[in-house]
Structure 1
């Protein structure tokens, strides 16, 4: 048995940073994730004029209810999707002139549904290169509010950004959603907003947010469910038991639903309100599963699928093609390098059982590819090699150390 201490949720940390910056007064975020993505978010807030102080195990943010204190700024969002999408939205709530840019990897990822929505609300956006992508110049005059229709079929972050913007508008915001992927992330957004004093009225496709701002607070960030998926997968793959404390049935994170996928494959799952354990039996069943709502865990399942007793098919994950890399193609490429038969379609991947061979994994600079295939390597006697092991710094800088600790606890050969 192993106990794995998973760092704070990236998704919750990013939302809490946005909301703390938007609340008049001082907020303290306990146990936030410290990684390249969240450090980019914190640096972006500082560039926008907010005071962000990091102490041991916590961040203190002095917020401003009227948008960024700085009337002009240049913000570099690095590789992070949450800073790239949330920080311009925060800037739109204020009054000023701002330059936004991101890494070449992030420049490729789409922003258009969000930037179109901000433009419709009165924000001026001038793109310097490809429309709907970084880099761009944003001029804000504050947001009156209103009603709009949004396509969030490529990323739920577009909707999350607008929901968090809603209380900062003068008259509130109503968003009708024509398509929505990864719906559980919206639950994370709404739960975090509630902690900062705001609620969202909604049905399946319409979300209504009232004006009124946010309340500064002390906020505890729970462990990251997406990160936990790798260690739960290791338990199922190796026939071991792994427990992640601090992550239980009370969590709003949809990616914790990955343990139900492992349950379908034959693992035993035990949960209470604050802990989750997965116990493998040394055998995996091949399954067919729709992962639209938990698509960040798709590479985790793909990496362990060759060890199942029948083919595994993962459906409805088109949005993974516009992540840090095309994750469907990246998973297929690396599984084929390991000698595994794979077929793909526009929004699906099917993986056949086999005997994975040692291989060099092409991470494509994607933290989730690196971490997922590291788990597969635990069951390959000669292991695997990552061409870019440091890319895990995006969300989990200590991943390799924690994986080594897992092997120590399970008494696996290094």
Structure 2
């Protein structure tokens, strides 16, 4: 059995950085992820005048409930969706003129429902090129808050961004949802907001964040469940056993449910109080599974699907077409390049059993495509990635850790 230490969750790290920046006092964060996305978030906070010391294992962030310490700033969000969606809302809670831009990849990803909601709340937001996309400028004068309608069917990050800022609004925030995807990520947000001392309620389609701000605290960031999925899948595919400490029954992240899906396919899975263990049994059954709420792990399942004994159909994942790339089509095209029959629809992919042959995987600048098909490569000698370094977005040491795990008996 191999124990694999997975780095901290990107989603939790960047939420924690937002909350720490917004809180009164100095917050201590432990277990924070160091990656392209979190470095972009930290750089953005620095541009906005927030103070963060991340030199050691404990990060110390001095909060500013009143908003950015500068009255003018330019922030480059790189490829980070949480950076590009959360920081403009944080800036809007202060006073000044703040311009945001992002990589070409991130410029293509939608922002419109979020900025429309901000405008409904009285925030002056200007898109400089395509409406609903970066680059944009926020002319901030605080956010009074109140009631707003939001369509979060393309990304739950739109809702998270607004909720995180809700306690900073003079009147708090009441969000009426008209659509929502990736529900577990919203539960992460709410649990973390409560850990920083604020009140959030969720009743049907209505979420309410009370005014009053945040209080600095000490916060431990759990390992990334999406990243753990590659090691769980590798164990299920190769007959190995892997244990991931720090992800157990009390984990915040819904993506841990990926291990349960492997259990449905025939792997032995044990989720304990403080860890999760997956053991491959030599078989993988085909299945149909709804992955709407854990769609970041869709590519992981698609990448091992050819080795199941029947078709694997993944449904209700339309939002994966709007990630770093169109993940449905990227997975299908790469599987076809390996000689596997794969078909897609508007919100689904179906992969048929087969014997993959070596090919170069096109990563499309997407870390999850690169890491998912690295698992496929365990059973396909000669499989290569055209952009192996793209994993740095969330796990710079992935290839080394993955190789070490696969070398262990």
Q: TM-score, normalised by structure 1?
A: 0.98
CA distance in 1, matches of 2:119, 2:194: 27
CA distance in 2, matches of 1:113, 1:319: 14
Alignment match, 1:318: 318
> Is residue 33 of structure 1 aligned with residue 33 of structure 2?
yes
Alignment match, 2:395: 396
CA distance in 2, matches of 1:20, 1:54: 13
SS in 2 for 1:289: strand
* Unpaired stretches in structure 2, ≥5 consecutive residues: none
Deviation of 1:41 (Å): 0.2
Equivalent residues of 1:122, 1:141 under 8 A apart: no
CA distance in 1, matches of 2:242, 2:382: 21
CA distance in 2, matches of 1:58, 1:43: 18
CA distance in 2, matches of 1:77, 1:57: 24
Alignment match, 2:66: 66
Equivalent residues of 1:25, 1:216 under 8 A apart: yes
CA distance in 1, matches of 2:296, 2:303: 13
Alignment match, 2:163: 163
Deviation of 1:31 (Å): 0.9
**Segment of structure 1 superposing worse, 144-153 or 197-206:** 197-206
What is the RMSD computed on CA atoms of the aligned residues?
Answer: 0.7
Alpha-carbon displacement from aligned partner over 1:371-401 (angstroms, at most 9, x marks no partner):
0000010112x24100000000000000001
Alpha-carbon displacement from aligned partner over 1:212-265 (angstroms, at most 9, x marks no partner):
000001111010000000000011111111100011010010000101110111
Equivalent residues of 1:265, 1:285 under 8 A apart: yes
Superposition pairs of residues 77-156 of structure 1, within 5 angstroms: 77-156=77-156
Runs of 4 or more above 2 Å deviation: none
SS in 2 for 1:55: coil
Deviation of 1:3 (Å): 1.0
> Is residue 304 of structure 1 aligned with residue 322 of structure 2?
no
> Is residue 377 of structure 1 aligned with residue 377 of structure 2?
yes
CA distance in 2, matches of 1:60, 1:297: 31
CA distance in 1, matches of 2:392, 2:26: 28
> Is residue 281 of structure 1 aligned with residue 281 of structure 2?
yes
Deviation of 1:284 (Å): 0.4
Deviation of 1:194 (Å): 1.2
Deviation of 1:55 (Å): 2.2
Alpha-carbon displacement from aligned partner over 1:148-204 (angstroms, at most 9, x marks no partner):
110000000000111111100001100011110000000100111111111211123
Alignment match, 2:210: 210
Deviation of 1:404 (Å): 1.0
Name the count of aligned residue pairs.
409
SS in 1 for 2:61: strand
Q: TM-score, normalised by structure 2?
A: 0.99
Superposition pairs of residues 301-380 of structure 1, within 5 angstroms: 301-380=301-380
Equivalent residues of 1:12, 1:188 under 8 A apart: yes
